[in-house]
Amino acid sequence: MVIKNIHISRASRYLVLGGIGVLLFMGCSGDVEKTQESDITLPVTVMEPVEKDLSKIKKNGVLRMITSYSSGSYFLYRGIQVGFEYELLKEFTKENELALEVIIPGPDESPYDLLNSGRGDIIAANYTITPERKQVVKFTRPYNIVDQQVVVSDDLGFKPESITDLEGIPISVRRNSSYFVRLQELREQGFPVQINVIPEDMDTETVLFQVADGTHQATIADDNIYEAASKYMSGLVKGPLIAESDTIAWAIRTNAPDLEHQLNRFLYKHFRFDEDGVPKRSAFLNVLRKKYFESGNQIADYFSPGYQEGQIGTFSPYDNMIKEVATEFDLDWVMLTAIAAQESKFNPSSVSWAGAVGIMQVLPRFSEISSDSLYIPEVNIREGAKILSSHLKHYSYMDSTNRWSFALAAYNVGQGHLADARRLAIDHNKDPNEWNNVSEALLRLMQRKYYQNARYGFARGIETVRYVNEIMNRYNTYQTVLAYNQAKQSTGSGGVLGLQTLN
């Protein structure tokens, strides 16, 4: 049996305490830096790599993965290790009977130095292959192809068709990124590019969120990251491409030919080009791409479900069952129905990417009910209601609106992260019993300067805030439908508002 360990390098050990990550996206978190004189440098001090090829790695039984703590590479979701890079590399370690250990560079640590010093064995962080990086590391064969996409805020009021349309509009990117390098190249070619350098700890998803809310006017993102983010972020407008067909690969030491060979054999099974240069992907890689990028929101399925017209006053085939369980736990059955719709679209066979099952998406590892039994609708609804009831009791001193908001947030993200957000609200002199204040704090927990001091680490706050808002909105809509139908019945005018209009 392979035991998976986690090592977090200095100044980053707190990250392992996180209970939930996020879903899903990370840009080309490149470490290329370009000065005003156009001299490109990398943050490297260890120039000579240690002698540590595959044989030594197998002798130790552990492959050490250098990555970033982000929703596209590696994060914790309620204690579950997930992330596109993590799952892909974990498949390699399984095939080679190795344990996979995670190393997250601290604020002052270079991933290249961690690699060349032997503290890590492979950089798996969605790195673009660039000539500058190839001077320091060896790249495997690619496992993805991406385009660099300009993304602007819809506050600008127009869709830029070319880079010249962005004259006078600052484009916010990290200096140590391939985006920055590409913008510098365009500037040197005479294009009117204005670059706004932002902190290095802001991943692409965070920047996109700030473009969506108008904090920044424009940024650059890989096209797959933009497509995924646009499914659940409003306020983003697609601009022109500034680079096409960038290759993404893993980075290893320059003196590890056996490791390179074995990694390339593995990647060849999952990604290669046909005779026409068209990329071909394995079923496994396609599943990972869909899970973390193509389907958008991967923490939970928050897209509005489609409804079928039915009897007056009904929302699902399980209304009577939900009413009975709600009465048992003294819950609002309409709210319980709204949660079930959000969690599973009333699908009793639903299984989330993280293993949550059934109508209420209960995680078996946190339930005393057997996994098989959780697929039984009544059992699953009752277990979800029990968990929700415990959260409501925990916040029983609050008013009704805040109490439900906090209970829903705890059901989604866990009470640990919610406690971190409440402490952060206090730090900002805000009332921790007001959901509006805590929701703001949850969004801050997506930023390194806040989550690095939080007990439970990084939290995908945007997911939880959206989860609470959508359920509350759905609940209000359900109540409106019920009132409408009751009014129709009482006046005898007939007609039922079709439930399919709710999505």
- HEC string of 416-478 equals HHHHHHHHHHHHCCCCCCCHHHHHHHHHHCCCHHHHCCCCCCCCCHHHHHHHHHHHHHHHHHH
Contact indicator for 163, 240 with CB cutoff of 8 Å: yes
pTM (2 d.p.): 0.55
CATH architecture of 319-502: Orthogonal Bundle (1.10)
Rounded to whole angstroms, how far apart are CA atoms 276 and 286? 20
* Active-site residue list: 343
Query: What is the mean predicted confidence (pLDDT) over 105-120?
Result: 88
Looking at residue 304, what is its pLDDT?
Answer: 29
Lowest average pLDDT, out of 222-231, 235-244, 288-297, goes to 288-297
Looking at residue 276, what is its pLDDT?
Answer: 87
Q: Which of 251, 307, 279 is nearest to 111 (CA)?
A: 251
The pLDDT confidence band at residue 466, using thresholds 50, 70 and 90, is: confident
Average pLDDT, the chain: 81
Please name every residue paired with 196 in a beta bridge, in sequence order, or none if there are none: 172
According to CATH, the topology of domain 146-246 is D-Maltodextrin-Binding Protein; domain 2 (3.40.190)
Which tokens belong to 483?
A: 């009132």
Rounded to whole angstroms, how far apart are CA atoms 461 and 464? 5
Query: What is the mean predicted confidence (pLDDT) over 88-97?
Result: 94
The pLDDT confidence band at residue 76, using thresholds 50, 70 and 90, is: low
Rounded to whole angstroms, how far apart are CA atoms 181 and 188? 11
Looking at residue 184, what is its pLDDT?
Answer: 92
The pLDDT confidence band at residue 476, using thresholds 50, 70 and 90, is: confident
Q: Which long-range contacts (CB under 8 A, 24 or more apart) does 90-93 make?
A: 90/4, 91/266, 91/284, 92/63, 92/263, 92/266, 93/2, 93/63
Answer yes or no: same fold for 146-246 and 319-502.
no
According to CATH, the topology of domain 13-137+252-294 is D-Maltodextrin-Binding Protein; domain 2 (3.40.190)
Query: What is the mean predicted confidence (pLDDT) over 135-158?
Result: 94
Lowest average pLDDT, out of 35-49, 121-135, 137-151, goes to 35-49
The pLDDT confidence band at residue 477, using thresholds 50, 70 and 90, is: low
Query: What is the mean predicted confidence (pLDDT) over 335-348?
Result: 90
For the chain, the structural domain boundaries read 13-137+252-294, 146-246, 319-502
In the predicted structure, residue 74 carries a pLDDT above the cut 90? no
Looking at residue 149, what is its pLDDT?
Answer: 94
